[in-house]
Each structure stands twice: as structure tokens, then as C-alpha cells.
Amino acid sequence: MDDSSDAAGSAVPDVLAPGLRVVLVGINPGRVSAAASAHFANPRNDFWRLLHASGLTPRELAPSEQDDLLAFGIGVTNAALRTTPGSGDLRAADFAESAARLGGIAATLRPAVMAFVGKEAYRGTFGERPALGIQARRLDDTVLFVLPSTSPANAAVPWAERVHWFRELAAVVEREAASRYAASDARGDRA
């Protein structure tokens, strides 16, 4: 786990390492997550169930097991670091450094994919309204992907649709990670 100073303003520490297959970017810590010091800790949030249902993790992890994500090539951070009762309480200033911070993660740790959990996490970071799926923008050579929110406040989006987008992400992660490893092998970067 990386408790770098970049996330020092957050009640929930980043879970990051070099060379991950995917870094998932939440919008910000809610009160339940801040109290647990764990990402997506609200028991009504479907994040952990969706990770497993998509095949990104071999079993459903609990928020307290977030550090185990690294073994599966997965990291987690947030776009905004300030804890709020809900994402509607965020201000533009909460995202002021988000693009630069996430760009630094992409350049330094080189994940194959960075996936924003919810359109608002992406919009707050880049000031653009995204569609779900792969984005035209990249950070360094990291592919950007937008998922539907897993928040209980997003219950209007059916489970099947959310699983679909998480499975799409899993396919993109598999393809991008394989491509990155193949390019690395061709250059002789991997032992």
C-alpha cells in the first residue's frame, strides 16, 4: 500500500504500486469509508461485488481487504480527497489538483488502465462529461475508462448494466495489460 504524501489529505489511503493492470478512481471518500479507512466501505455500495462479478477478482473482497487488490494487479485511489456526506457536497476546488495528481500516478506507476468509478469522478477531474467506456484522453500511456457509479445513490442503474460495464473494463484491462507485457518483452524490459 502506498501512503504517499499525494494522498495525505485523504482519510482513506491510496492502494497503489508500480505496474498495476488497473487503478480504480473513486470520486471521494464518504463518511463510512473515512471511518473504516477503506475504499468503498459502505455496505450498500456494490463496488466489491462488481469487481468479483466481472472477474477482476477471484472472490468478493471486503473493504478491509483492500490491500489484497495489489496481488490481482489492481489499485485504488480517489479523484477528490476530501471526505463528504455525499458526492453532491463536493466543490470544483476539491478537484483542483486531481488531473495533475492522477497524471503523476499514471506517469510514475504506469498502470495499463485507469478506470473512473462514476462519470462524476471523471468530470470533476477533467471538466468534461464522459460517456461510459474507453475515453479518447489518455494519461501518459495509460488508457482511461469510465464505469457507472457503484454508489447506493446510483441505484437507478440496474445491476445488469453495471456488471456489463465492469466486464467491459475487465476485457480492456486484459487486452491492455497483455499488450503492455508483449511490448515490454519485445524491448527486453521484463526478465
Alpha helix ranges (H) inside the chain: 31-36, 47-53, 98-109, 119-126, 159-187
69, 57 contact by CB (below 8 A): yes
Alpha carbon distances (Å) from 135 to 3, 20, 27, 160, 172: 28, 19, 17, 22, 12
Question: What is the set of domains in the chain, with CATH numbers?
Answer: 5-26+54-131+138-187 (3.40.470.10)
What is this structure's pTM?
A: 0.88
pLDDT at 191: 45
Residue with the larger pLDDT of the pair 30 and 73: 73
Helix, strand, or coil here: 146?
Answer: strand
What average pLDDT does range 118-142 have in this prediction?
95
Q: For the chain, give the percent of residues with pLDDT over 90.
A: 64
Buried b (16+ CB within 10 A) or exposed e, 71-82: eebbbbbbbbbb
Predicted confidence (pLDDT) at residue 4 exceeds the cutoff of 60: no
Most confident range (mean pLDDT) of 25-34, 123-132, 173-182 is 123-132
pLDDT at 30: 77
Confidence of residue 32 (pLDDT cuts 50, 70, 90): confident
6, 108 contact by CB (below 8 A): no
What nine digits make up the cell of 152?
A: 447506493
Residues ≥6 apart with Cβ < 8 Å to 96: none
Determine how β-strand 142-147 pairs with β-strand 133-139: antiparallel
Predicted confidence (pLDDT) at residue 47 exceeds the cutoff of 60: yes
pLDDT tens readout for residues 140-184: 999 999 999 998 877 789 999 999 999 999 999 999 988 876 666
Cα 153 from chain centroid (whole Å): 18
pLDDT at 53: 98
pLDDT at 86: 59
